[in-house]
Amino acid sequence: MAEDWNAALYLRYADERTRPARELLARVPLEAAARVVDLGCGPGNSTELLRERFPQAALSGIDTSDDMLAAARKRLPHARFERADIAAFEPDEPADLLYANAALQWVPDHATLFPKLLERLAPGGVLAVQMPDNLDEPSHRAMREAASDGPWAARIGRADDVRARILTTEAYYDILAAKGAKVDIWRTTYGHVMKDAAAIVEWVSATGLRPFLDPLDEAERQAFIRAYLGRIEKAYPPRADGTRLLHFPRLFIVAQKIGRAA
């Protein structure tokens, strides 16, 4: 069984992780919202933004990690947080905003999922999604290479299947536009300044590296991380001031449900 997510490790780069959440929320075309749900709320850093934007809303968050939910409840004791799977999400009432920051890339079958989420919205409601689009970046290519080259290859399995690729921009537009939604879609590549190669490894250890590490015992994990770090040292050479620059592409989607149920 995979280990639980680590909220403290995730929040070591809270500012960098929260920035795209802010930028996604800034494009949500709602003046007010009665019901807001944070899908894959994590430790509540994105949920806190939703509370600031819609202070009167009935606010809830769902996640599959007990550690993340505990951190979210501590941060926002007056919001409702539940352990639930996004793929099986069924709100009590249609939502005005379904918001998912860096969560849906872990959920399969987007051709089915996105129309289903759109159907969970009230008329005029918004589905706002941000997903990392970094599987072709050196950080993630190095994960797959390290997984395939080491003695742990059989334990990890097919490295290319650890996380499914998200769809193309055009595919998401067509899926949502076909349901009558008004779609705003864009990409941003962030350049995160990291102290050294070890900081890049620490960053991805909280997220993308987890499926590679979860099947391994502690000794194998440490060996894998050393092998991975060696690849990261080469892939991200020092800049002029000695820091490393981590490029991080992300896809943003804001889809507003127009008129009657899509």
3-state SS string for 134-157: CCCCHHHHHHHHHHHHCCCHHHHC
The average pLDDT across 208-233 equals 93
Q: Which residue stretches of the chain are H helix?
A: 7-10, 14-26, 45-53, 66-75, 110-119, 138-149, 153-156, 169-177, 197-205, 210-213, 218-235
Question: Considering the entire predicted model, what is its pTM?
Answer: 0.90
Structure-token pair, residue 33: 């919202």
CATH of 7-257, one of 3.30.565.10, 3.40.630.10, 3.40.50.720, 3.40.50.150: 3.40.50.150
> How far from the centroid of its chain's Cα atoms is residue 33's Cα?
23
Q: Which of 23, 17, 58, 13 is nearest to 40 (CA)?
A: 17
Q: Give residue 164's pLDDT band: very low, low, confident or very high (50, 70, 90).
A: confident
Q: Give residue 4's pLDDT band: very low, low, confident or very high (50, 70, 90).
A: very low
Structure-token pair, residue 214: 């979860």
The full set of domain ranges for the chain reads: 7-257
58-72, 159-173, 228-242: the lowest-pLDDT one: 159-173
